[in-house]
Structure formats: structure tokens, C-alpha cells
Amino acid sequence: NGLIATNGKHKPAFAAFRGLGGEPAMSIARGAVARNDRVKQTPGRFAIATGRLDGSDYRILYSRADKDMTHARVSPDGSRIVFTGYNRRDKEGLATEDSGYEDTEISILNLDGTGLETIIAPKPGVLAANGDWTPDGKSIFFVSTDNAQRTPELRQIDLATRKITRLPTPAG
């Protein structure tokens, strides 16, 4: 999941992020820890968790009963996580990545599990996903379709001012 579709091809909305760097934070999963991959999920509980690669020191930082969270990345200083939250619900009432990227939001959370803040609120029919930190940790890059054509564009939000800037976006 994440940048790659189940058929192994890059997801079109995120093709522009290839090569910008930033690895996913520890997995977004229920009941398991994996290496930089989202664990296959079953209905139940969605969580942001930390842990060691061997599975020890597993700790849930934040969880939601019915809304998936993916694309987590740790800030350069190691103090916060940015992640994508899903809001479009399927027939079972779960909001997951499989239900589509429209109505997504971007949030940040302190690595100790406090300070949850939605920095890009969900909008009907609009994708806001795949946040990644700037090297100085003062801004977040993300993909958005908040434009008349609903085409994916790179954006950057300054965390201090909340100013959003559209960045040159390569085709693809």
C-alpha cells in the first residue's frame, strides 16, 4: 500500500513524490509491527504505533476504531509523526485506504502520543495525503487534488503560519 498499488505500479496520485526521500514511520497496523510496510488489516482497530524491528517495545500512540491511518513519517528531529487519515466509509462503515483517497486529511502527532492536530482538514471529493517533512521539519509536503480539475498537485504547508503553497508538479 502507500505509494505502490497492489499490482506493483506507482499510484498515479503519488507519482510526483518519487525520489523526494523520507521513509515511512513504523507501521500503521493492528496487533503487529512490520518493516516500512502496512500490515494487512482486518476490521477492528486502526493505530499508529512504534516499536523495534524485532517487535519489542511495541507501543500504540494513537488508535481509532473505524478510520484507517497510513503514510506515517517521523519528523527529522524524531519528535512528531505526520500521517494520512481516511474518512470515506465502505459498506461495513470503515473508512479505509481501499475506500479511496477522496475526503482524506493530514494530521500530526507527537511521538509520545500527545498533541494530535489535523493540519489539512478533509474536504468532500478532495485528496490530501502522503505528507512528508521538509528537512528542517518546519513544513510538510503533501499531495492534493484541491483544484478545479481534481488533478494531483504537490503542496507545502508551513506549520508555523499554515500557509499552503502549490509546488511545481511533474506530470505523471
pLDDT tens-place string over residues 156-168: 999 999 999 999 8
Letter for the amino acid at 38?
R
What is the Cα–Cα distance from 73 to 50, expressed in whole angstroms? 11
- Of the chain, the percentage scoring pLDDT greater than 90 comes to 47
Residues 6+ apart with CB under 8 A from 148: none
Name the least confident of 20-29, 53-62, 151-160, 161-170.
Answer: 20-29
> What's 125's DSSP letter?
T
What is the Cα–Cα distance from 83 to 25, expressed in whole angstroms? 9
Is this model's pTM higher than 0.75 or not? Answer: no
Name beta bridge partners: 73. Answer: 82
pLDDT tens-place string over residues 88-123: 999 988 898 888 889 999 999 999 889 999 999 999
